[in-house]
Structure 1
Amino acid sequence: MIDMTLLLEEKSGEPLYFQLYQHIKKDIIKGKLAAKTRLPSIRALSSHLHISRNTVESAYHKLIDEGYVQSRPRSGLYVVELELDKLPTSYLSRRRPFETSKQDITAVQYDFRYGDVDVAHFPLATWRKLSNQCLQSEQVELFSYGDPQGKTGLRVEIAKYLYDSRGVNCSPNQIIIGAGIQYLLSVLSGLMGISNNSIAMEEPGYDGVRTIFRHNGFNIHPIPLDKDGLNIHKLDESKSRIVYITPSHQFPYGMVMPIAKRIQLLKWAADLDGIIIEDDYDSEFRYVGKPIPSLQSLDTNHRTVYLGTFSKCLLPSLRIAYMILPPDLLDLYNKHGYRLYDQTVSWFHQKTLELFMSNGHWETHIRKMRNIYRRKQSTLIETIRELMGEQVTVIGQNAGLHILLRVHNGMNETELINAAAQERVKVYAVSPFWEKQTQAETSMVQIGFGGLSNEDIVLGIHSLYRAWFYPVNTSH
Structure 2
Amino acid sequence: MNPGWPFPCARSLPKRRRLRAEIARYLRQARGVACTPDEIVIAAGTQLLIQQLCCLFGLDGRAVAIEEPGYNGVRIVFQHLGFAVTPIPLEEDGINVEALEASGARLVYITPSHQEPSGMVMPYAKRIRLLQWAARTGVYIVEDDYDGEFRYRGKPIPSDAGLSVTVEVYSDKTAEELTAAAASAGIRVYPTAPKWFRPPQNRLPAFQFGFGGLSVEEMDAGLRLLYEVWKPYLHSCN
Same fold per superposition (TM over 0.5): yes
TM-score range, shorter chain: 0.7 to 0.9
Post-superposition Cα deviations, 1:4-33, rounded to whole Å, max 9, x if no partner, equal xxxxxxxxxxxxxxxxxxxxxxxxxxxxxx
Query: Counterparts of 1:153 and 1:200 in 2: how far apart (Å)?
Result: 35
Query: Counterparts of 1:441 and 1:292 in 2: how far apart (Å)?
Result: 32
1:317-328 maps to which residues of 2 (within 5 A)? none
1:414 aligned partner: 176
- For residue 192 of structure 1, the aligned residue among 47, 57, 66 is 57
Post-superposition Cα deviations, 1:425-468, rounded to whole Å, max 9, x if no partner, equal 11011000000024584321111122555554333222101111
Query: Counterparts of 1:165 and 1:153 in 2: how far apart (Å)?
Result: 18
1:194 positional shift: 5.1
Post-superposition Cα deviations, 1:372-400, rounded to whole Å, max 9, x if no partner, equal xxxxxxxxxxxxxxxxxxxxxxxxxxx31
Contact 1:190 1:216 in 2 (8 A): no
1:220 aligned partner: 85
2:190 aligned partner: 428
- SS at the partner of 1:156? helix
Query: Counterparts of 2:234 and 2:120 in 1: how far apart (Å)?
Result: 32
Provide closer, same or farther for how the CA distance between residues 211 and 195 of structure 1 changes in structure 2, counting only shifts above 3 A. Answer: closer
1:264 aligned partner: 129
- SS at the partner of 1:208? helix
Q: Which has the higher contact order (CA 8 A, sep 6+)?
A: 1
Query: Counterparts of 1:419 and 1:196 in 2: how far apart (Å)?
Result: 42
- SS at the partner of 1:176? coil
For these two proteins, the number of residue pairs brought into alignment is: 222
Query: Counterparts of 2:202 and 2:41 in 1: how far apart (Å)?
Result: 35
Query: Counterparts of 1:415 and 1:161 in 2: how far apart (Å)?
Result: 45
Query: Counterparts of 1:440 and 1:161 in 2: how far apart (Å)?
Result: 45
Which structure's residues are more often helix, by fraction?
A: 1
Paired amino acid for 2:137: L
1:371-450 maps to which residues of 2 (within 5 A)? 399-439=161-201, 441-450=203-212
Query: Counterparts of 1:240 and 1:208 in 2: how far apart (Å)?
Result: 19
Q: What 5-or-longer segments of structure 1 have no aligned partner?
A: 1-140, 143-150, 296-398
- SS at the partner of 2:120? coil
- For residue 34 of structure 2, the aligned residue among 164, 169, 180 is 169
Post-superposition Cα deviations, 1:177-235, rounded to whole Å, max 9, x if no partner, equal 11111111111111112577220001000000101111111110000011110100000
Paired amino acid for 1:246: T
Provide closer, same or farther for how the CA distance between residues 200 and 439 of structure 1 changes in structure 2, counting only shifts above 3 A. Answer: farther
Contact 2:171 2:233 in 1 (8 A): no
2:224 aligned partner: 462
Post-superposition Cα deviations, 1:277-328, rounded to whole Å, max 9, x if no partner, equal 0110111112344422116xxxxxxxxxxxxxxxxxxxxxxxxxxxxxxxxx
1:239 positional shift: 0.3
Paired amino acid for 2:28: Y
Paired amino acid for 2:134: A
Paired amino acid for 2:185: E
Query: Counterparts of 1:196 and 1:470 in 2: how far apart (Å)?
Result: 48
If the length of structure 1 is used for normalisation, what is the TM-score? 0.44
Structure 1 residue 156 corresponds to structure 2 residue 21: yes
Contact 2:63 2:85 in 1 (8 A): yes
1:270 positional shift: 0.9
Provide closer, same or farther for how the CA distance between residues 403 and 440 of structure 1 changes in structure 2, counting only shifts above 3 A. Answer: farther
- SS at the partner of 1:205? coil
1:3-14 maps to which residues of 2 (within 5 A)? none
> In terms of Rg, which structure is larger?
1
Provide closer, same or farther for how the CA distance between residues 165 and 440 of structure 1 changes in structure 2, counting only shifts above 3 A. Answer: farther
If the length of structure 2 is used for normalisation, what is the TM-score? 0.85
- SS at the partner of 1:267? helix
Between the aligned residues of both structures, percent identity stands at: 49
- For residue 239 of structure 1, the aligned residue among 104, 120, 132 is 104
Q: What 5-or-longer segments of structure 2 have no aligned partner?
A: 1-13
